[in-house]
Amino acid sequence: MKKVLLLGMIMLLMLNHLCPGQTQVFPPDSKPASTNVQNAQYPRITSDMRVIFRFRAPDAQKVQIDLTKKFDMVKNAEGFWEVTTDPIVEGFHYYSVIVDGYTAVDPSSQTFYGMSRMASGIEIPEKDVDYYLAKNVPHGQIRQMRYYSEITKAWRRAFVYTPAGYDVNTKERYPVLYLWHGGGEDETGWPNQGKVDFILDNLIAEGKAKPMLVVMDKGVAVNPDAAPAARPAAAPPAGQAAAPRQPGMMMQNTTLEDVVIKEIIPMIDKEFRTIPDRDHRAMTGLSMGGFQSFQITLNNLDKFAYIGGFSGAGQMQQGVEFSKLYNGVWADADAFNKKVKLMYLSTGTAEPERMYQTVNNFKKELDKAGIKHVYYESPGTAHEWLTWRRSLQQFAGLIFK
């Protein structure tokens, strides 16, 4: 097998990827981020969780890294822009490179749909925690499904996690968790940023969660018959002007509910071996997706027995009694507590104050109304994916039991 080959053009192409020799010394006590693309040496993470960025921008005057906090880069003697950040909180963070005022995506890191646009992301490793990492356990699959929605007159995409053994245990039927992303994100959020497959693989392997399907679809559905002015619009990507303003979030919500109840659930129950009843169906989501989960489940309690919101609250309305909301679903606490097997709410202790308070106020209303629920505060994390990975790990361990 060890042949000496004279390579044709194709092989030359491959060799083009082997760059001319250049010995480079990397900063000690640092290594490339796990979110880097193949072979990218920067960004690097130090042992005290600072991030070192370094790249060329020969003619730029001002270069910054935007990691919510902005860090100014400095041009070194070799012409590379460099910066070492403060220590960054563990978990996954979106970031941008700002070059002379242009908000750019970094070619060196994996990209993610977030902030209503493509964005760079970096994973800061968490000490002694491996529940969302690839481990030597049986692995499920994440399946991409394309379907046409008659309600929205548009093609949609769903991702469906199937647990290990799904294709082998062909007599077995499974419960289903419907799981929403947040505002400015899409159906790729949980598979990519959320690491849903590793979290479920690990939980199931340890016997801490039942084998289940997880359906991740897009939390946006536009009614094609609504007047254009009544359609919702997300923000345009950074640096672009907005399209004409389009109010009408309520329309979006009811259309999404229609798509879920009339299209997605029937499709999943048809295409997969589900247990198609309320006792084996859960829904939760993060931030905007939490609000949507409460909206959809509380309007359809015949279809869901497990309900959650991660960094996302349900309705609260000034001047309207809490017990009157959601068609009065909270009015009879005993009935609700008997019917709903889990009501789950979470937030991060480092979330922006108003976000933290909104979830906390909702929790207090539930307390006052006598609605049983599980409430979790993720220590030290903000309105970010680590809060939501932790919440999912908990939530998935509490349902279908």
Q: What does the per-residue mask of binding to a second copy show for 243-282, with x meaning CB under 8 A?
A: xxxxx-xx---x--x-------------xx----------
Q: How far apart are CA 50 and CA 83, in angstroms?
A: 10
By beta-carbon proximity to a second copy, the closer residue of 90 and 257 is 257
Residues that bind a second copy (rule: CB under 8 A) add up to a total of: 121
| Residue 324 and residue 369 in contact, taking contact as beta carbons nearer than 8 Å | no
Q: Return the range that interacts with a second copy (CB under 8 A); candidates 83-91, 95-103, 300-308, 388-396.
A: 95-103
Question: Residue from 103, 300, 393, 394 that binds a second copy (CB under 8 A)?
Answer: 103
Sign of the alpha-carbon dihedral angle for 204, 207, 209, 213: positive
Residue 227 sits in the site that holds a second copy (CB under 8 A): no
By beta-carbon proximity to a second copy, the closer residue of 127 and 245 is 245
> DSSP letter at 129?
-
Residue 287 sits in the site that holds a second copy (CB under 8 A): yes
Shortest Å distance, C-beta 365 to a second copy: 11
Shortest Å distance, C-beta 5 to a second copy: 6
Shortest Å distance, C-beta 239 to a second copy: 4
Amino acid at 128: D
Applying the rule CB under 8 A, the residues between 368 and 397 that interact with a second copy are none
Going by their DSSP bridges, the two strands 117-124 and 213-216 should be labelled as unpaired
Residue 241 sits in the site that holds a second copy (CB under 8 A): yes
| Residue 299 and residue 327 in contact, taking contact as beta carbons nearer than 8 Å | yes
Applying the rule CB under 8 A, the residues between 129 and 158 that interact with a second copy are 134, 136, 139, 141-148, 155
Residue 242 sits in the site that holds a second copy (CB under 8 A): yes
Element (H, E) at 61: none
Residue 28 sits in the site that holds a second copy (CB under 8 A): no
Q: Return the range that interacts with a second copy (CB under 8 A); candidates 208-216, 238-246, 372-380, 393-401.
A: 238-246
Residue (of 30, 33, 61) closest to 47 by Cα position: 30
Q: How far apart are CA 109 and CA 120, in angstroms?
A: 6
Residue 215: strand, helix, or coil: strand
Which residue, chain included where needed, has tokens 């259309």?
255
Q: What does the per-residue mask of binding to a second copy show for 65-94, with x meaning CB under 8 A?
A: ---------------x--------------
Burial of 78 (0-12, 13-18, 19+ CB in 10 A): exposed
